[in-house]
Structure 1
């Protein structure tokens, strides 16, 4: 076991530094935007650049890794992240930030993909759960730590932007100088959104809504903290509370969904999200600790619901289709993250910061409502196919470790050559 930890130590250290920089970046950008007196709609526009880059990277990055390998791609992506945030500090113009944020989204998604693919090749079935739990903890600690760096500097000058660029650059050193062998060359995974929707409509629709929810919060949550008058330290604590709630709830939600119809858990999470968001909207102006507690409640369902959709879609998959499903759902999630800020931004401008949580409540209601409607359309499939295990996700749902792993299909099982369509596949879940 110690040998397994040693083999991924440099990768975990790089991940930690990358997530510290990511946490700092994700908070300093909205704080600076408010300081520049940009409207929430303006913030939403350049946030869309970020999500477009993020989604594009899920398709493009595996091709780069195939050509030049993991280390070179990871080094290039860290360089792009450094350049993008430094340029944001150098050229403070929201039109320029659209391009800079697109580069940043492309690079962070590709970095997730490379790290998880690399990590997946280093683990075994015996230690997979433990080491991926360590990875999730590392990303959470790094993100929260980065957010708490904002109160230590001044977002209205270039100091925090420079610090963020330095941290991204430092993140490539442990991996670039590691003596561990490189992962094997990957293969490109394909995806078919139409077939995926036919297979599991609730997973596709739910994945899109999960993307809209997380996209709206991740891009406008920092703006919300500033608009309601929180200090940077209080805002960092509120953002951290959302992440902490997500970390605490992933395992209980996953275990519950493994034991019953996952769609029932989706409905419960959606209803809980509606109530938490409405309570959050009503609590603005109250004590900070009330906001922290309610933010933790929102976080308990904000990020984990995406993993529910992935698990549900995989329940209905042939063994050789897991990679294709993960890729397709990631694209669906990416499309949702693009729409979220564009919808929420104008509403916040028109009705104030509380509107953020009102719109999030609407998204949660749609998530729960569609899952409930699908339950009425068809019974649970447990008698037809064995469930896959629920797997927790990182702060930002990513393409997953199997997307660029050439051994993924071999480990999952042999490709089925029989052209006969299983009975359960002919009826969409």
Structure 2
């Protein structure tokens, strides 16, 4: 087992170190924008700039990655991120921050394409789900641990930015010093979103649906819980259980997808999302006594099902791909996910206006039901490879 997984130590270690710094930067910028009293419209523009760079990077960086290889591409993206992170230490200027956030988004997705393509191309069909699960665990663990730096440094000093730049720069070393060969490109194919959708509509829509759900969860769940008059301590506990569930069930679902039909595992994950979203809707609507005894376990399971939607969809899509199609397919799936994550917070409020704060869970269930109906009705013209 160790002999197999040692092939992924370098990319997993690199993404863990890099994500630790990047997650700290995201939180730091939100805090700084609040301190400087930027209007909500400007904060929205900065967020949009990041996602625009993320989506365009996913669409156009694959050619560069295929030309120079994984290691050189990762080094290039990480070096640019280090410089951009440092430039955020200049006096606050929204006009300057807009292009910086755009570049940061493009290079961030470039790093994800490199790491995920490396994993998908090397893992093989029998172990791909398990390796993807470990990748997601490293990613979420790094994002959580990055927040701990706030306890050891002042936000008004340059120390956080130095730590961020240092972490991103250090992430280069595992990739550049590994003695293992990077996956080779053999007649790499380049194709667009339309071709990817034709290859695996269910996997593509699964990624988009996962983005809709997780984008809304990250952006609107705290607002929904606050409107339901949860205390800050209760909100923190619920969110903690969601993220714990998301991390705890990654590997079991990944292992399950390596032994069972991946289509049915994906459908099972979306079905679980429907059930526990409905359970939370019911518990919050009727305000049962000791409701936290229902809410917390349901939150744990919601995290477990929600956070597995994207890796399961990606894993299922790879069943229809040749080795030469992995890089452009990874980029296309990231476009689908990020488009969903950007659209979700704009669509979900319509449900919240109709059903109140608990309408967010109606949106989760509606999205999941829509994906399941499509997957069940669609009959693929291609068989898994």
Give me the TM-score of the superposition, normalised by structure 1: 0.67
Pairwise CA distance, 1:76:
1.5
CA–CA distance in 1 between the matches of 2:152 and 2:338?
33
Say which of 330, 337, 340 aligns to 1:336.
340
**CA offset at residue 77 of structure 1?**
0.9
Task: Look up the match of 2:78.
Answer: 78
Query: What's the counterpart of residue 25 of structure 1?
Result: 25
Rounded to whole Å, the distance in 2 between the matches of 1:146 and 1:250 is: 20
Partner residue, 2:150: 150
Q: Structure 1 residues 320 and 385 mapped into 2: Cα distance closer, same or farther (>3 Å)?
A: same
Q: Is the 8 A contact 2:245 2:302 kept in 1?
A: yes
Do residues 244 (structure 1) and 254 (structure 2) align? no
150-159 vs 178-187, greater mean Cα deviation: 178-187
Q: Flag the 1:309–1:120 CA change in 2: closer, same or farther, 3 A.
A: closer
Offset, 1:146? 0.9
Q: What is the distance in 1 between the residues matched to 2:161 and 2:196?
A: 41
Alpha-carbon deviations, 1:376-409, whole Å to 9, x = none?
A: 8x3x869x987x6xxxxxxxxxxxxxxxxxxxxx
Deviations 1:133-188 (Å, cap 9, x if unpaired)? 54343323222211222233333443322211111111112323344444434665
For 1:342-392, what per-residue CA distance to the aligned partner results, in whole angstroms no more than 9, with x for missing partners? 567x99xx99xxx8x75643531331331354478x3x869x987x6xxxx
Q: Which has the higher helix share?
A: 2
Give yes or no for contact 1:264–1:371 (8 Å, CA) kept in 2: no
113-122 or 44-53, larger mean C-alpha shift: 113-122
Are 1:302 and 2:290 an aligned pair? no
Measured in 1, the distance between the counterparts of 2:311 and 2:9 equals: 26
Give structure 2 stretches of 5+ with no counterpart: none
1:11 to partner: Cα distance:
3.5
Task: Measure how far apart 1:78 and its partner are.
Answer: 0.9
1:160 aligns with 2:160: yes
Alignment of 1:23-102 (within 5 A): 23-102=23-102
1:195–1:63: structure 2 CA closer, same or farther, 3 Å change rule? closer
The structure-2 alpha-carbon separation of the partners of 1:23 and 1:202, relative to structure 1 and needing over 3 Å to count, comes to: same
Distance 1:172 1:80 in 2: 12
Structure-2 separation of matches of 1:240 and 1:268 = 19
String of CA shifts for 1:45-65, please: whole Å, max 9, x gaps.
Answer: 322222222222223222212
Q: Select the residue among 276, 290, 309 that pairs with 1:272.
A: 276
Moved more, 320-329 or 145-154: 320-329
Q: Counterparts in 2 of 1:169-248, with a 5 A limit?
A: 169-185=169-185, 188-194=188-194, 203-218=203-218, 241-248=241-248
Partner of 1:420: none
Report which stretch shifted further, 141-150 or 239-248. Answer: 239-248
RMSD: 4.6
**Which residue is equivalent to 1:404?**
none
Structure 2 CA distance for aligned equivalents of residues 359 and 81 of structure 1: 38
C-alpha separation in 2, matches of 1:385 and 1:118:
24
In the alignment, structure 1 segments of 5+ residues that lack a partner are 389-411, 413-429
Residues matched between the structures, number: 373
SS in 2 for 1:155: coil
What is the distance in 2 between the residues matched to 1:273 and 1:64?
41
- How has the CA–CA distance of structure 1 residues 155 and 61 changed in structure 2, closer, same or farther, with 3 Å as cutoff? same
Whether contact under 8 Å (1:246, 1:302) holds in the other structure is yes
Say which is worse superposed, 263-272 or 216-225, in terms of deviation: 216-225
2:104 aligns with: 104
Q: TM-score, normalised by structure 2?
A: 0.73
